Amino acid sequence: MSLQIYDTKIGKKIPFTPLRDNHVRIYACGITAYDFCHLGHARSALVFDMIVSYLRHSGYKVTFVRNFTDIDDKIINRAQKQNTTCAELSQRFIDEFYIDMKALKITPPDYEPRATEHIPEIIDIIEKLMTKGIAYQADGDVYFEVEKFPQYGSLSGRNLDDLKAGARISINKIKKNPMDFALWKASKPGEPKWDSPWGEGRPGWHIECSAMSRKYLGDSFDIHGGGEDLVFPHHENELAQSEGASGKPFANHWIHHAFVTIRDEKMSKSLHNFLTIREVLKRHQPEALRMMVFATHYRHPLDFSESGLRDAQTSVNRLYNCMAACAALTDGTESSKAVATRAEIDKLRSLPDRFQEAMDNDFNTAQGLGCLFDAVKSINRISQALPAPPAQADINLLRRGGADVTKLAQIMGLLSQEPQAYLAGYQEKHLTAVGMDKAELNKLLEERIAARQNKEWGRADEIRDLLLAKNIELKDSQDGTAWYVAGDRGQ
């Protein structure tokens, strides 16, 4: 079974084959830089990070482009409101975007082009459309003429009659058809402007992506994607412009991910129900966010909640605990009896295949994670049952299983840290949060060990309860007393 990807244009899953050899070319729509990024942007970045990573894992060479739209109406309005320039405003939020991406540990794309740095390429496409008679000039604007592109609506499954019927489009007398959209806009006083054959002006909203994808990936490339809300009109218009100009097929596959919702409503700026990435990362670890995002299939809505994110954190810890146990494994002997059952051996050996099968099915990360946790369960069961000198066969199986789990989880950016370091970091962060320093904790732990040796159970329990009040739980063992962060429920 090979990779199957759901294609928005066709509305079903189809086998994926790169257009050119083993080389996959992907373009994803990035942000319009005028504000901080919210969780929806995080999902978008995370989903494409995973897709690129999985394609590379599968042996493809990948060229990944994610653009910045740094000139448009929203930027102009916001800049005017803040009494600054568009260039300053967009640069500021591109910088902020990079801070968020770094915090989320997103692998940078191969190219991150900006609209304002591709004005000649934009003008070039518009000129082609003008030459072919698919675009027309009206006052200082240039419009794409939808009637001249018969396939208009093919991506989003609409036709011009439906669109006209729904028409919430503002009346614009200079357009031939209300659905015609601007390729180039004449500049108003005080707005950024560039020279063009049609006078001074600036690009329309969709044309930058047509120009930049063409420059870095060619007229035809493999995958184009973004959030569901971009299907219409953004991607529909891009498709029309690009194919209209080149006469060749544009993107071979269209991938769109669903929204992040809050209480089942779309998270969006206009509804004022969004959480910024940095807000969430103040309270939660990036891997917990990744776990939550990838536990839902990318085409299904992801309903955000604090409790959901805490659940995700707990399951991330489960992964790390298992890996820490694997790392602590000591060599065994040939003479001991192996404890792994046939079923467990099969489960662990088949993990990479089962994971691949899940991911090949339209990047089903939720199912892939299920495979990973399945393996974790087997690893834990075997580790727990290991006799005093364990059998070398079991140790080999566990180490191999642990290595597979780590490698596969890393495709989603999970298990990106050394287990011991991660767990120690998790504990330290908690200590800080509850306002206790390590020396103080150690002092109490030592006192309790002494009390227990003297069988002063009252004092020992008192210390335990005292720490429990700070969500620190103790575990006594022959080696001493270890402590853990208790479940954060109810916070």
Q: Interface residues for RNA in 195-234 (CB under 7 A)?
A: 205, 226-234
The residue from 132, 248, 438, 489 that contacts RNA (CB under 7 A) is 489
Which span (104-112, 142-150, 186-194, 366-374) binds RNA, by CB under 7 A?
366-374
**Interface with RNA, residue 487, by CB under 7 A:** yes
The residue from 102, 132, 457, 491 that contacts RNA (CB under 7 A) is 457
Smallest separation, CB 360 to RNA (Å)? 11
- 10-23 b/e (C-beta count within 10 Å ≥ 16 → b): eeeeeebebeeeee
SS (H, E, C) 244-268: HHHCCCCEEEEEEECCEEECCEECC
**Interface with RNA, residue 295, by CB under 7 A:** yes
Smallest separation, CB 305 to RNA (Å)? 7
Which span (194-202, 309-317, 326-334, 395-403) binds RNA, by CB under 7 A?
309-317
Which tokens hold the place of 72? 């448009």
**Interface with RNA, residue 302, by CB under 7 A:** yes
Alpha carbon distance 414, 317 (integer Å): 11
Smallest separation, CB 8 to RNA (Å)? 9
Residue 152, classed as helix, strand or coil, is: coil
The residue from 24, 71, 240, 369 that contacts RNA (CB under 7 A) is 369
Residue for token pair 């994110």: 309
**Interface with RNA, residue 303, by CB under 7 A:** yes
Q: How many C-alpha atoms does 470 have within 13 Å on its Cβ side?
A: 20
Alpha carbon distance 210, 219 (integer Å): 9
**Interface with RNA, residue 158, by CB under 7 A:** yes
Q: Which is nearer to RNA, 334 or 342 (CB)?
A: 342
Residues between 19 and 48 that touch RNA (CB under 7 A): 29-32, 38-41, 43-44
Task: Report the 10 Å Cβ neighbour count for 269.
Answer: 12
Q: Which is nearer to RNA, 61 or 489 (CB)?
A: 489
Q: Which is nearer to RNA, 60 or 232 (CB)?
A: 232
Q: Which is nearer to RNA, 254 or 259 (CB)?
A: 259
Closest by CA to 47, choosing from 117, 107, 2, is: 107
Smallest separation, CB 473 to RNA (Å)? 3
Smallest separation, CB 474 to RNA (Å)? 5
Smallest separation, CB 87 to RNA (Å)? 19
Residues between 124 and 153 that touch RNA (CB under 7 A): none
Smallest separation, CB 131 to RNA (Å)? 26
Alpha-carbon torsion angle 77, 82, 85, 89, nearest 10: -90
The residue from 366, 431, 433, 441 that contacts RNA (CB under 7 A) is 366
Closest by CA to 354, choosing from 338, 385, 375, 337, is: 375
Residues between 82 and 121 that touch RNA (CB under 7 A): none
For 228, phi and psi rounded to 5 degrees?
-50, -35
What residues does 480 pair with on adjacent strands? 477
Smallest separation, CB 20 to RNA (Å)? 26
Which tokens hold the place of 84? 């600054």
Q: Which is nearer to RNA, 124 or 311 (CB)?
A: 311
Residue 156, classed as helix, strand or coil, is: coil
Long-range contacts of 470-478 (CB under 8 A, 24+ apart): 470/434, 470/436, 471/430, 471/434, 472/430, 472/434, 472/436, 472/441, 474/445, 474/448, 476/452
**Interface with RNA, residue 470, by CB under 7 A:** no
Alpha carbon distance 62, 230 (integer Å): 23
Distances from the Cα of 36 to the Cα of 31, 283, 287, angstroms: 10, 17, 21
Burial class (CB in 10 A: 0-12, 13-18, 19+), 474: middle
Q: Which is nearer to RNA, 62 or 485 (CB)?
A: 485
**Interface with RNA, residue 420, by CB under 7 A:** no
Residues between 341 and 360 that touch RNA (CB under 7 A): 358
Alpha helices in 2-155 (DSSP H): 39-57, 73-81, 86-103, 119-131
Cβ(191)–Cβ(89) below 8 Å: no
Q: Which is nearer to RNA, 205 or 221 (CB)?
A: 205
Q: Which is nearer to RNA, 57 or 266 (CB)?
A: 266
**Interface with RNA, residue 154, by CB under 7 A:** no
**Interface with RNA, residue 450, by CB under 7 A:** no
Smallest separation, CB 365 to RNA (Å)? 9
Q: Which is nearer to RNA, 245 or 358 (CB)?
A: 358
Which span (14-22, 113-121, 295-303, 326-334) binds RNA, by CB under 7 A?
295-303
Q: Which is nearer to RNA, 169 or 345 (CB)?
A: 169
Residues between 264 and 293 that touch RNA (CB under 7 A): 264-270, 274
Which span (401-409, 414-422, 424-432, 474-482) binds RNA, by CB under 7 A?
474-482
Which tokens hold the place of 381? 């069961």
Number of residues that bind RNA (CB under 7 A): 95
Residues between 230 and 259 that touch RNA (CB under 7 A): 230-234, 257, 259
State which amino acid sits at residue 135: A
Alpha carbon distance 431, 32 (integer Å): 39
